[in-house]
Structures are given as structure tokens and as C-alpha cells.
Structure 1
Amino acid sequence: MISYHHSPLIKWLSSNVYIFLLGTLLGQAVFANEQLKIVKSPLSRLIRQPTITAIYRDHEGPLWIGTQQGLYRFDGTKFMLFNSVSKNETRIPASDITGIGENPQGSLFVSTFGGGLLKWNRKTNLFESVPKNETFNAEFITSLFASKSGRMWLGTPSGIVLYDPESTRNSRWFRDHILAEAIGQPNAVAENKDGNIFIASNTGLYNISERLKSIERVHFNDNYVLLDTKITALEFDSSGLLFFGTSTGRVVAFNLGSGLAISQRKIDSNTPSSILDLQFYNDGLLIGTDNGLTFSAKDLSLFKSFHDKNSALSNNHTTILYKDNDYIWVGTYQGLNLLSFVPFSTFNGKNSGVFDDVLAFEQDDSGKIWVGTYNGLYFFDYATGLHTRVGVTPGSLTLTDQRIMTIAAKGAQLWLGFRQGGVQIVELDGSSHQNIPDIPNVEELEVTKILHLTSDETWIGTYNRGLFRIKNQQIESFLASKSLTELSITQLFRLNSGELLVGAQNNVYRYNSEQEHFDTIEFHFEGNSQRPIILSINQSNSGELWLGTKDQGLYVWTTANQRKGGTNLLKVGLSDELSSTTIYGIEFDSAGNSWCSTQDGLLKLDSGGNLLDRFTLADGLQGSDFNFGASFTDREGQIYFGGINGYNRFTPRFVKTNLNTPRILLTNIDLAGSKVMPPISVEELQTLQLTHKDYFVVFTFSVLDFLDPEKNQFRYMLENFDPD
């Protein structure tokens, strides 16, 4: 018979609850099905001086990054650093970069503090100083803004300079205007859809028309709007409404026609914040400050702040926000961050209080999601959006071990399997006791899996004591009875037919319930003479059995092969990308696609095993590496994967596969060691004439996708030479 040890259950839910980052706070359409994710850019570690002062991507695709100690150009493969201490062609007059811009003709300009204005020569890949003359002699430039007309608005300590690249002079009409000198050094510059330039400085806000050659001071009919403050950031929304930020942390939506504030709000912060940049993104407003980053609804009704304590923001002092396709570059005092909306919700110690090393999931009859970690048990309630830890208050339930390897719900019970501590049963119906199955030396069991096959039959797999079954309160050890001599059990899986599969490291067994016998399934792994270590098993709705392995990729036991009585497993994805991958977990969505957690991100494959997409940290995952066995699909169809930096939850139909091929930049063509052309996009190369003497040709190219450059992959072929 089975007996239980009893102990009181008092206040077993911790009073420490945590609000998930965005899930319940900002429930408007702007956040529907997606979460705002901040990650540190992989490019940061390649930048010597971490204070970012300027970011720009030119029309050919390379990314330019300005710092206080140099300018970086990244073409997808290599960095070029330009500074004043260089001894070669990468030397520029000053290293303090203050702005980067481009005119409609494609000419790139860079402003420096101490070295004047520079122009990029695309033919030589060198910078040239813009010549000074009697009307243009700016050397200490504090900012650069390129207007749609192609003119450069340059800030200097003594005021604004309007440089015209066509005439190479300071525009005379602006220089001679009576209000030009009154503007002083600009704090922010923006352009509306009509081409008017708005400049904010310590002396006020100015509206400048290049077409009419006019300057007007903007009047405020709400005098309190700028009381004891100054405008430090400007941005127009898509409708033409002006938003500005102030030195005291106030954001204002301003009607230029009436001179009245439509809405305004101060950033919620215990520390005074100065707003340094504004950027509209996905119908919301990003607000960069010297005390973190804030995302707001467009009507300023909701604010959510991000800082280095609740997100991956590398530093609280943000310097610049730059929109680049579907994401935002965030420059800070300590490097580059990437911000984007992602369909993967991330839960970790920073944003929701759950311990980072996540190992198991389960959903009980009430709908609560339980999360097992290497340091405690938590539950997440959809209704409240809260994580709560079990058993951390005085007098509350004591867990045998805090390392939760597996969780299995049964009625009003939650069965927990521990790393070293056996099995513990938690009663969820309000009973004031806990149960521990009376398995001999239960505290020594290293539990890997618990499976409730029926209401009165529970199977327990362990790593050190084989397989156990508890049926009708009777305990049976199959290792002790020698019915199954495998010491380490890694998988317990119920087939669609109701049959039980038992996975050991190298073998899979089918349990014959009528004869109470284990039959070895002699699988033959395609292309592999040795049996790989099996880490994960799952079955699709169509009946195909998928097996994930350690370092050997993914295999499928097709329904056709099963019907024939065969045991041949087909290799999924014969490419190198999948053949050596470790598959920790496999889950299927309602469309028949499979989702696999690996040591290198998350894979999405169609029902035929074709790779559709790979997702990484840059896509919003908790990390690139995941944990063995930490995968789950809840009753609503949401999928969970756990790793060492928390866990991800997502709804598969909201995860869009990126079918856009990034641009390719041909960075060099060498003929016998001689460079024959400057960098151009592949699309621009029409012909390349070679002679019989040109027997040695080298093509060098880059992929212009900077989210995670090290993950970029490519294939190529020479037409009429390489096979298809």
C-alpha cells in the first residue's frame, strides 16, 4: 500500500507578486499580441568607445555609428574605424562625432566637434573635409540635421549654420535674417511634412521655411507649458502633429495652429529626467531620457518605463533613437541596444520575478500555469498577470527541493519531481497538508519525468533509479523487478493511441499493458550508424512521431512506416543547419507546424520538416540556448519554452515568418589581387568583363542585416558552372 507523510500547509502562496512587463499594463492595440523587447546589439562589443552620439544607415545599406572617439562603418561583415589618431587612410580631423546625414543625391556628411564637416567619397572609401570659405567656417559642430531639400542644418556653440552642399556655402538668406542670430545653439531640429524646419533652443521654438526664406517664433498660448523648462526634443507624427520633450521630463502634443497643448504628461520617475530624443514607432511614442527609456501610447495616456533594472537596456542615459526598418537603434552611454515589437513574451527575474533557470511547465484544471525552476515553484495567472512563488513566507509549505525538474497536474493535485529529492504532491483544493509518495529512499530520486497515464496510474522516470509506477496505490520499481533495466529514464510519452513510450538515453520502449511488458523499438536512424541520445519526443496530430536528439538533429517516424511495422526514422532537414543541432523540446501548433528549442535558438518547421524560420535572441527570445524538457503547450494553444534566462510564451499564429531577403552589398572584386570597383549593391552590377588571363577572381560581399550579423547565412552558385 502507499502511505503519505503529512505536514501543515499554511500560506503557501508568497506575498511577493510581480507584474509582467507589458501584459496587463498596456493592453491597447499598439501592444496586441506583441511585446516590446530590448536587447543589447552584438555590435556593441566591437565598439571601443561605448558612448553613442550618432546612428545612420545610408542609402547603400551600411550602418554608421558615431562615438566620442571615432566613427564606425559596418557593412555587414567588417568594421572600419575612422578617428584622428589613425595613421592611415582612416584618419579624420577629429574623433568626436556629433551627427551623420545624407542628401537626396546620396552624399553622406558627418559633423565633428573640432574637425568641421566631412564628406564621404564613395569611390575612394575616404573622408574629405568640406572646404571652408568666407561664408562657411564651422569647425566645432554640435549637431547635424539633413533636410529633405538636401541642405545641412549645423549646430554650433554660436548658433545655426545652414550649409548648402550645392553651393558649398552658408545660405545667405538665413545668415542675414534678423532672427537667425537669436536662435542660438539648437537643442533639437525636426522637419514637418511640408518641408518646414523647426528648431528648439534655449531661446524658444522657431518655424523656418526654406521655400519662403522666413523665420518665425512659435508662440505658446499656454504659458505654463514651458514654465521653468526648455524644449530638448522634437518629433512630428504621421498626421503632422508636433510632439516635444522638455528638460524637466514633460512630453507635450502641441497644436501649432492654436498654440495650445492638446495633451501633455510628465514621465513618471523618482529621479528628474531630461528628454533627449523622441521617435514614433508602431503607433506609439518612444521617449529617450537621461534616466531610461519610456514607451507611451500616442495620446500620452499610458507610460511604461524601461531601465537597466527591468530590461536589457545597457545604460539609463539614452543618447539617440534611430528607426531602421522594423526596429529601433537605441544609443546610450554604454553601447547600442535594439528595440522591437516581438511576438515572444519573455518572463525572467528582471521583469516578472520568476527565477531565470526555467525547467518545467504545467497547467492545472483551473487554468493556472505552473513554472518549475532551479530555484522554486511559481504560478502565473492570466487573469491578474502575476507570478507568485510557492513557499517563501514563514510557516508556508516547504518543498523537498527547490529544483523543480517536472510538474504533472492531476485533479486537485500537483505532482512535483525534483533534481534530488524525489516526488512531492501538493494539494490545490485548500487542504492543509502535503503528500510525499512512500517510495523507498524517495529523497534520493533524481526525477526526470512524471506522467499521469490514467486517474489511478502514475509513471515516474528517474535518472538514477530507473522507472516507477504507482497504480491503485501500489508502488512498483521496474529496475528492481528487472522488467526494465534502464537506470536513466529521460522520456515518458503517451501516444495518441493511449500507449506509453519510455525513453532512455539511447533506446525507446513501448509498454504492452496487456502483457505488462516493455518492447524495445529498434529504431534505425537515417544516416547514422550509432544510436544518438534522445532528448525529446512528441507526436503530431497526423500520428507522426518526432524525436529530438543531442547533436544529431531531428528524426521522424512516419505514419506510413508505422503502419508497415517498420522502424526507420527519416532525418529532418539534411542541411548542416539541422544535422548537428541539439533538440531539447518539440511542440506542435494547430497548423501542423513544429517548434523546436535548441542550443542555438528556436526553429519553426512545416509538417514536412522543412525549415521555415530560425528565431534568436534578437527576435525576442530569452536567449539562444534552452533547457532540456522545458517545453509545453497550454489549452489555449500558447507554446512555452524555458531556458537559463527565463522563458518565452507565444501564440504561434502571431509569429510571422520573415520571407524578406536582406540586401547584398558587393564590397569588393579582386582580379589577381587588384581591386577593380568600389562597393556596390549586387543589383547594380550589370556586367563584368573578364579575359582569359583573369583566372583568379575574388568576390567579397556582405549581408545588410544587422539584427544579429553572426547568424546571417547565405548560399551562392555560378550559373552555367555550378550544379543546381
Structure 2
Amino acid sequence: MKKSVKLLVVAVLVSCSLWSQEFYFKHYKVEDGLSHNTVLSSLQDKNGFMWFGTKNGLNRFDGYTFKLFQNNSEDVKSLHGTYIECLYEFEDVLWVGTDNGLYSYNEKQENFDLLEGTSAKQILGLMADVESNLWYIANSTLNKYNTKSGKTDSFPTDLFFNATAIIKTNDNEIIAASSNELYKYNKVSNSFISYGIKVQGDPKLPFRINRLFNLNDHVILLGTQNHGVLAYDILEGKILDMLQELKGPIYVRDFALRGKEELWVASESGIHLYNIKEKVYTNLVKDYGNPYALADNAVYALTVDDEGSVWAGTYFGGVNYYPNQYNHFKKYFPSLSENSISGNAVREIRPDNKGNLWIGTEDAGLNKFNLETGKFTNYTSKDKGGILSHYNIHGVLPMEDKVWIGTFDHGLDVLDVKQDKIVAHYNMGDRSTLRSNFIFSLYKTRTNDIIVISTSSIQSYNSQTDNFDLVGTFPEHIHYTCFFEDKSGVLWAGSYSEGLFYYDPNTGDNGNYIYNSLDAEGISNNHINGIFQDNNDTIWVTTENGLNLYDPIKKTFKKYGTKDGFPSNAFYSMLAGKDNELWVTTSNGLVEYETVTGQKKSIPRKVVCLVINSIIILVTKVRMEQCILGALTE
């Protein structure tokens, strides 16, 4: 994956009702390997692969990369159609309907066989019955192909009807549709019987059935061209008075049922969602200011995979993926048209005691985010008309009515929140004893001392002298990355390349743990990202190559990584949950880790930072999100 800017995820404990969560889609387009941004059909096969039919061939997706199957005029075993109109899996064989014939996929050889008699025909519908018959619509003619005998029966349009859709009911009945009628297949006569449906539509708009879908054992949904969704009871033989929100000028393309109650309807006007039990409706559409919204309003195909996630194929916006797991996220990103976070590259997030989060970015200064109102207040640098010394913020520390702000190579600012102005600035030289202008992080001790972690030293703020003192025995000229005071009062400092330092103010004991490839019980890496103490007072150290559990008696480390089931060897931050539960961030997602049983659950996102109590702050590689994690309520 290409590296991008950071993403902030804020986990806030809120109550959520039906449809209260936002819907965020991940987009897969040509630049991601998709053969074309127009996706006409989709399917998940027996092996779990996702298949997408486009206007430029067939795509198989394994969750990481696309494998393309396209027209090759010199290969008789290739698809000779360009538009992949429909997909269907029958008797463990994938069938591919194109604008130039119907093909069966040979899984071992990864090639295709053309079904005899379908060359140069447009295939617009596929369905199978329990008697090994594959039904398909070719140039509006319905056909029945028996895979055992190889025989094909056709139902020509001049003798029957112009077929537009076909479906097998839950009772194994075959029902086909013309533009304005339904037909039931009679096996004895090998013919069709009309249901005689009567629909009073808008005379100015043509009534046409595009799609059929089984809602339950006796109700079929009719997706129409200009009249939305109609529910037809095949037992009672009548249109039902239901799904009122889905009627009207909606051009329906496809259906999907997520679970037993959540109906998804693909249309030319976005995705229409309807909860059948609660009778709650919403319409998902493209939003030009939201990079996570649908990429296009014209949605042609829907597939719910075996995890309950939804894949939507659009006409201009490629594949749009809505994951089932961990979908209670509210994302925040810069927007010129509304109140929003000011930057993309989030570096630091800290809560104050007034219900705000202070968010430092590396590209657009500081933000105050009110958790109750959802409003942002933006602070930018002086060269951009603001009050900050620099726009690249690394350290943020709220202290009562002030916020200490560490910058990249421009020193330290102090913001008075009530006055809304900078009341102090500290820089190297002059009267300041600050050892570096690059403030990497800030930390508050249990006695409310302010610790300045810089690329040259560990210092504490001396309020009596209004200056900075070196802390303990931590050496100078070290690029420090983090600081921690454990429950016994021992001070710890992590560095960029010099390992882990410690100092005990009570005894004067101090030392430095560095990586040694010959020491199996030593620390795993010299690049320290974080230091943490859990509910059992155990010290954990995160590094760029391994998670380390510290043994204070032996002064040794037990190392964890991918060999132990974690998704990555790069660890960043940690937070205690209930009992022996830890939340651990890695370069390949967030992990819920039970330290006694060793059980792990992963959220596959690139996450970098966690903070405090029932509020989790996660920094990853794109923008800002707000999520619900009920495990951290206590």
C-alpha cells in the first residue's frame, strides 16, 4: 500500500441507534489494480474470492491484489467478451455472462470455455435450478441449459416473452420477468404461465422490471426502471402495500440482504437502505466533500460477503467496500465548506479537563475539538495569519487553563485558553535553557511536573526560574521519543536509536537497555515508541521491532511479535482494558490482547497512538475517525 498522511481515530463511548452510525466506504479503482471503474456485476465464490465484472474484463480480488481476465483475440480460452454483465456460481463452477457469450471458468487452468450457441450474444441474467439446469438470458431470449446432458432449451421471444430477469424462489420455483409481467415455469409443459400482475405506474415513465429478488419464501421484490421497488406475493398473487419509502422514481439495479432485516437496494440514485423490522430508511449518496462516501451515485451491483461486509459496484467509482466489522467510526477530515479539523497529518492528541481534545497536526497547526458539540477550533502558525510559532506540532499538553505546545524545530509555545493567545514562548539561546527547539513530546508527572522530551535531552519546567532543568541522569545529545513515570516512581525514557533509559530518583539507580543480537533476553530494538504499565503493574515497551515485557527482578525482557500471533512486529502504543485486557496498536492494526490466555482480536488498520481511560486516541495513516469501543467503558 502507498503511504499517505496520518489518520486520527477517537473512540468515544456513545449510545447508538439504528442508522446512527455513519457509512464509510473504501474505494478500489483503476489505480488500485481494477481493470475499469465501471463495475457491472459482482460475486463471492466458494473459495472466498471476490469477482468483479467490469466494462473491461473480469477481476478476481483476494483482499490485496486484483487478477485480471480480459479479452485476448489470440487465445481461444480467454473471455471474448469485454463487458462482464453477470456472474453466477453453480455446481462449483463460475459462469460468466458477457456481451459476447456465456463462459464457464476452469479453476485449475484459470481459463474459460464458451458455451456453444452463445457466441455474439449478450448475456444479461443467470440462475440455476435443482435439476442441474442453468438458466440464462441471451439477447432477451430465456434459455435452459442442462449441465449433465448438454442440452439447451430456448424460449424464443416471439413465442414467449422478452426476458429481463430470472430468479429461483426459496421453494425452487423458476420465475422470469418481462418488462411488465411475471411468469412461472411449468416443468410438465416446459412452458411459462403468466401471473397477471397489474401495476398502475406513472404513464409518463415506462414501467420495466430490471431485477428480481427473494425477500422471503413467498415475497419477491421487483426492481423497476422508474417505479422503485415493488413487493409481490407469489402465493396471494398481488402487489403488497409495503416498502413505501422505496417506491417512486428510483431506477433499481440490484438487491442484497444483509442479515435478515437490512435490505440494500442499488440504484441510479445511490444505495437505498431499509430495515424491514424497524421500517427505518436511509439513502447513501455521493458527497464531494467526503472521501469516504459512495464514489458514484450509479450503483450497479451489490454483494454481501460471508463476513457480512458489502461490496458495491458503481458505474464511475469502481468498487466501494463497506466492512461489517468495526464499522462504528465517525471520520473527521479537512473541509473548506464546513467546520472541520484543519490538517491531515495528525501527530498528537491530548484531552483537557473541560471535555476537549487538543489535536496537534504536522501540516496545519493545532485543533481544539469539543467532544460534546463536535466543533473544532483551529490554531495556525504566524506565517499563515495565526498565533503559533510553527504549523508542525509534535507535543501537546493541556494544563488547567493553558496548553503547552511543542513544535518541530521552532521551540515551545504556551497557549492561554481563556485569553486565546500565546502568553509564553521558549527557544534555544537568549535566556532559555531549553536544549533543543525540536520538542518531540510532552509529559505530565504525578506531581504535575511538565517534562519536555526533545531531540537532545529530557528536561522539566521550573516554574520558579521560568526555565528548564535536566532530569535525573538521562544523558544529553540523545534523540528521545517518549517518557514515562511508573507507579513506583521510576522514570523511563525511550530514544530514537539509543535504546531504553531509566532513572530511580529514590535510589539513584539508573541504566540503559540496548539491543544485543546475542542476548535472547535483551530488549528487541533500540527504537523505542512507547512505555506503558498495565493494571498488574507490569511494564511494557513498544519498539519498531517487537513488544517487550519487562521483568524487574531479572531486568530482562520477553519479546512478542508476529511469531506470537500479532499482525506486525512494529508496536506503538498501549492501553489497559478490563482485567488482563490490553489494547495494542501496531503498524498493521489495533489488537485486543488478553495477557493471560494470549487471545488476540485484530482491527486491521494502521494505528499509531492510544490515550486515557474511556477515550482512545489512535493515529493511523489517513485522517480522523471517532469510534465506539465498549470494552473500555470501565
Pairwise TM-score range, normalised by the shorter structure: 0.7 to 0.9
Which residue is 2:479 aligned to? Answer: 488
Computed over aligned residues only, the root mean square deviation of the Cα atoms, in angstroms, reads 4.5
Post-superposition CA distance 1:47-82 (Å, at most 9, x none): 434433333344455554433343455689997755
Alpha-carbon shift at residue 238 of structure 1 (Å)? 4.6
Tell me, yes or no, if structure 1 residue 470 matches structure 2 residue 461: yes
Tell me, yes or no, if structure 1 residue 264 matches structure 2 residue 244: yes
Do the aligned residues in 2 keep the contact of 1:234 with 1:242 (CA within 8 Å)?
A: yes
Tell me, yes or no, if structure 1 residue 457 matches structure 2 residue 477: no
Q: Bigger CA drift: 353-362 or 72-81?
A: 72-81
Which residue is 1:52 aligned to? Answer: 39
Alpha-carbon shift at residue 599 of structure 1 (Å)? 3.1
Question: Following the alignment from structure 1 to structure 2, what is the Cα–Cα distance between the partners of residues 599 and 511?
Answer: 29
Tell me, yes or no, if structure 1 residue 143 matches structure 2 residue 124: yes
Alpha-carbon shift at residue 330 of structure 1 (Å)? 2.5
Which residue is 2:3 aligned to? Answer: none
Which residue is 2:116 aligned to? Answer: 131
Which residue is 1:592 aligned to? Answer: 580
Match of 1:117 among 91, 94, 102: 102
Alpha-carbon shift at residue 176 of structure 1 (Å)? 8.9
Question: Following the alignment from structure 1 to structure 2, what is the Cα–Cα distance between the partners of residues 648 and 234?
Answer: 38
Question: Following the alignment from structure 1 to structure 2, what is the Cα–Cα distance between the partners of residues 504 and 232?
Answer: 63
Alpha-carbon shift at residue 540 of structure 1 (Å)? 1.0
Post-superposition CA distance 1:677-720 (Å, at most 9, x none): xxxxxxxxxxxxxxxxxxxxxxxxxxxxxxxxxxxxxxxxxxxx
Post-superposition CA distance 1:188-218 (Å, at most 9, x none): 44444334455555x3242424568422232
Alpha-carbon shift at residue 431 of structure 1 (Å)? 4.4
Do the aligned residues in 2 keep the contact of 1:522 with 1:567 (CA within 8 Å)?
A: no
Local SS of the residue matching 1:342: coil
Question: Following the alignment from structure 2 to structure 1, what is the Cα–Cα distance between the partners of residues 275 and 13?
Answer: 14
Do the aligned residues in 2 keep the contact of 1:439 with 1:475 (CA within 8 Å)?
A: no
Q: Give the letter aligned to residue 462 of structure 1.
A: S
Question: Following the alignment from structure 1 to structure 2, what is the Cα–Cα distance between the partners of residues 224 and 23?
Answer: 48
In 2 relative to 1, CA 647–142 (structure 1 residues): closer, same or farther, beyond 3 Å?
same
Question: Following the alignment from structure 1 to structure 2, what is the Cα–Cα distance between the partners of residues 301 and 341?
Answer: 19
In 2 relative to 1, CA 192–24 (structure 1 residues): closer, same or farther, beyond 3 Å?
farther
Q: Bigger CA drift: 354-363 or 61-70?
A: 61-70
Q: Bigger CA drift: 365-374 or 433-442?
A: 433-442
Which residue is 1:568 aligned to? Answer: 556
Which residue is 2:492 aligned to? Answer: 501
Local SS of the residue matching 1:575: helix
Post-superposition CA distance 1:92-151 (Å, at most 9, x none): 443433222233x4444332323x33334568665333333xxxx674123122144354
Q: Bigger CA drift: 450-459 or 434-443?
A: 434-443
Which residue is 2:265 aligned to? Answer: 287
In 2 relative to 1, CA 260–141 (structure 1 residues): closer, same or farther, beyond 3 Å?
same
Do the aligned residues in 1 keep the contact of 2:12 with 2:616 (CA within 8 Å)?
A: no
Which residue is 1:347 aligned to? Answer: 331
1:293-304 matches, within 5 Å, as: 293-298=271-276, 299-304=279-284
Question: Following the alignment from structure 2 to structure 1, what is the Cα–Cα distance between the partners of residues 610 and 103?
Answer: 53
Question: Following the alignment from structure 1 to structure 2, what is the Cα–Cα distance between the partners of residues 383 and 246?
Answer: 44
Q: Give the letter aligned to residue 204 of structure 1.
A: N
Tell me, yes or no, if structure 1 residue 532 matches structure 2 residue 523: no
Alpha-carbon shift at residue 646 of structure 1 (Å)? 1.6
Question: Following the alignment from structure 2 to structure 1, what is the Cα–Cα distance between the partners of residues 490 and 306?
Answer: 50
Which residue is 1:100 aligned to? Answer: 87
- Provide TM-score, normalisation by structure 2: 0.78
In 2 relative to 1, CA 391–232 (structure 1 residues): closer, same or farther, beyond 3 Å?
farther
Match of 1:331 among 303, 307, 313: 313
Alpha-carbon shift at residue 556 of structure 1 (Å)? 1.2
Match of 2:548 among 555, 558, 568: 555
Question: Following the alignment from structure 2 to structure 1, what is the Cα–Cα distance between the partners of residues 126 and 617?
Answer: 45
Question: Following the alignment from structure 1 to structure 2, what is the Cα–Cα distance between the partners of residues 418 and 600?
Answer: 28
Which residue is 1:641 aligned to? Answer: 618
Question: Following the alignment from structure 1 to structure 2, what is the Cα–Cα distance between the partners of residues 297 and 644?
Answer: 34
Do the aligned residues in 2 keep the contact of 1:310 with 1:350 (CA within 8 Å)?
A: no
Match of 2:407 among 413, 418, 426: 418
1:704-715 matches, within 5 Å, as: none
Gaps of 5+ in 1: 1-19, 656-724
Alpha-carbon shift at residue 358 of structure 1 (Å)? 1.4
In 2 relative to 1, CA 101–263 (structure 1 residues): closer, same or farther, beyond 3 Å?
closer
Local SS of the residue matching 2:242: strand
Match of 1:85 among 53, 64, 72: 72
Question: Following the alignment from structure 1 to structure 2, what is the Cα–Cα distance between the partners of residues 22 and 569?
Answer: 31
Post-superposition CA distance 1:265-295 (Å, at most 9, x none): 3699xxx974322212244233333454454
Aligned length: 597
Alpha-carbon shift at residue 170 of structure 1 (Å)? 5.0
In 2 relative to 1, CA 267–360 (structure 1 residues): closer, same or farther, beyond 3 Å?
farther
Alpha-carbon shift at residue 586 of structure 1 (Å)? 2.5
Which residue is 2:4 aligned to? Answer: none
Match of 1:377 among 366, 371, 394: 366
In 2 relative to 1, CA 456–541 (structure 1 residues): closer, same or farther, beyond 3 Å?
closer
In 2 relative to 1, CA 301–481 (structure 1 residues): closer, same or farther, beyond 3 Å?
closer
Question: Following the alignment from structure 2 to structure 1, what is the Cα–Cα distance between the partners of residues 407 and 389?
Answer: 8
Local SS of the residue matching 1:94: coil
**% identical equivalent positions:** 17
Q: Give the letter aligned to residue 468 of structure 1.
A: Q
In 2 relative to 1, CA 554–46 (structure 1 residues): closer, same or farther, beyond 3 Å?
same
Which residue is 1:406 aligned to? Answer: 395
Question: Following the alignment from structure 1 to structure 2, what is the Cα–Cα distance between the partners of residues 225 and 416?
Answer: 67
Alpha-carbon shift at residue 597 of structure 1 (Å)? 2.8
Question: Following the alignment from structure 2 to structure 1, what is the Cα–Cα distance between the partners of residues 14 and 125?
Answer: 37
Do the aligned residues in 2 keep the contact of 1:535 with 1:585 (CA within 8 Å)?
A: yes
In 2 relative to 1, CA 175–167 (structure 1 residues): closer, same or farther, beyond 3 Å?
farther
Match of 1:236 among 207, 214, 218: 214
Post-superposition CA distance 1:308-327 (Å, at most 9, x none): 75245555543311222112
Question: Following the alignment from structure 1 to structure 2, what is the Cα–Cα distance between the partners of residues 651 and 21?
Answer: 8
Question: Following the alignment from structure 1 to structure 2, what is the Cα–Cα distance between the partners of residues 480 and 513?
Answer: 10
Question: Following the alignment from structure 1 to structure 2, what is the Cα–Cα distance between the partners of residues 156 and 26?
Answer: 51
Alpha-carbon shift at residue 383 of structure 1 (Å)? 3.8
Alpha-carbon shift at residue 543 of structure 1 (Å)? 1.2
Do the aligned residues in 2 keep the contact of 1:349 with 1:356 (CA within 8 Å)?
A: yes
Post-superposition CA distance 1:483-502 (Å, at most 9, x none): 74244332121213354333
Question: Following the alignment from structure 1 to structure 2, what is the Cα–Cα distance between the partners of residues 350 and 237?
Answer: 41
In 2 relative to 1, CA 488–532 (structure 1 residues): closer, same or farther, beyond 3 Å?
closer
Which residue is 2:180 aligned to? Answer: 204
Question: Following the alignment from structure 1 to structure 2, what is the Cα–Cα distance between the partners of residues 435 and 294?
Answer: 53
Question: Following the alignment from structure 2 to structure 1, what is the Cα–Cα distance between the partners of residues 220 and 12?
Answer: 29
Match of 1:218 among 197, 208, 225: 197
Q: Give the letter aligned to residue 170 of structure 2.
A: K
Question: Following the alignment from structure 2 to structure 1, what is the Cα–Cα distance between the partners of residues 62 and 480?
Answer: 49
Question: Following the alignment from structure 1 to structure 2, what is the Cα–Cα distance between the partners of residues 535 and 239?
Answer: 57
Q: Give the letter aligned to residue 84 of structure 2.
A: I
Local SS of the residue matching 1:492: strand
Q: Bigger CA drift: 485-494 or 22-31?
A: 22-31
Alpha-carbon shift at residue 388 of structure 1 (Å)? 1.4
Do the aligned residues in 2 keep the contact of 1:376 with 1:402 (CA within 8 Å)?
A: yes
Which residue is 2:303 aligned to? Answer: 322
Tell me, yes or no, if structure 1 residue 305 matches structure 2 residue 285: yes
1:681-696 matches, within 5 Å, as: none
Question: Following the alignment from structure 2 to structure 1, what is the Cα–Cα distance between the partners of residues 81 and 506?
Answer: 83
Question: Following the alignment from structure 1 to structure 2, what is the Cα–Cα distance between the partners of residues 380 and 611?
Answer: 35
Question: Following the alignment from structure 1 to structure 2, what is the Cα–Cα distance between the partners of residues 503 and 400?
Answer: 26
Q: Give the letter aligned to residue 478 of structure 1.
A: D
Do the aligned residues in 1 keep the contact of 2:272 with 2:282 (CA within 8 Å)?
A: no
